[in-house]
Amino acid sequence: MVALPACNASSSDKAVRWYSPEQVELGARVFADNCAQCHGLQAQGLVKDWKQRLPDGSYPPPPLNGSAHAWHHRLPLLVEIIQQGGALYDGKMPGFKSSLSEAEQRAAIAWFQSLWSDEIYRLWAADRKSSDIPFAPVPMTGKETNTDGE
């Protein structure tokens, strides 16, 4: 038996998400400015077969819209990949640890997860430890835009 996150009282088939609308809004901007060039404007990916290695041996950027494998990764790993880049996974994605705040990194994740169907989100959430997912929106700090280059 798989336990699913609690549902809103007003809509029993809507998955409760860990992020707030404000995080999704910030994430849309962060994604458009930093991620869309490689992952696509709607996080759909830019190649037909994202599992096929490129001629240089690297993997292309995968779709993040719920149609690929991002939903198989825990939130801390998604943050780590954004921070460290994709080299450990044979990708070319640069790390964004010094150019995006952690709030911006999580907001980008919130945005692409907002594209996931409730079914995909529930599968992702059901396979996570409770420590991975805050089931209340993570408060924004007011320091979401990193302008000092750190």
Which two tokens mark 124? 């992702």
Q: Is residue 144 part of a domain?
A: no
Q: Please check the confidence at residue 10 and state whether its pLDDT lies above 60.
A: no
Q: Is residue 44 part of a domain?
A: yes
What's the pLDDT at 133? 58
Q: Kindly compute the dihedral angle of the four CA atoms of residues 5, 6, 11, 13, in this order, to the nearest 10 degrees.
A: 30
What's the pLDDT at 134? 56
Lookup result for tokens 């860990």: 18
Q: Is residue 52 part of a domain?
A: yes
Q: Is residue 36 part of a domain?
A: yes
Mean pLDDT along residues 94-123: 97
Q: Is residue 86 part of a domain?
A: yes
Cβ-in-10-Å burial (0-12, 13-18, 19+) of 50 comes to: middle
Cβ pair 46, 39 in contact under 8 A: yes
- pTM recorded for the entire structure: 0.79
Amino acid letter, residue 118: D
Q: Is residue 139 part of a domain?
A: no
Helix ranges (DSSP H) in 17-147: 21-34, 36-39, 75-84, 102-114, 118-126
Q: Is residue 1 part of a domain?
A: no
pLDDT category of residue 14 using cuts at 50, 70 and 90: confident
Give the integer Cα–Cα distance in Å for 72 and 123: 9
pLDDT category of residue 127 using cuts at 50, 70 and 90: confident
**Domain boundaries, position 58:** 21-132
Q: Nearest to residue 78, comparing CAs of 124, 122, 37?
A: 124
- Number of structural domains (the chain) is 1
Cβ-in-10-Å burial (0-12, 13-18, 19+) of 80 comes to: middle
Which two tokens mark 106? 């999580």
For residue 37, what is the domain's CATH number? 1.10.760.10
Give the integer Cα–Cα distance in Å for 34 and 19: 20
* Of 37 and 132, more confident: 37
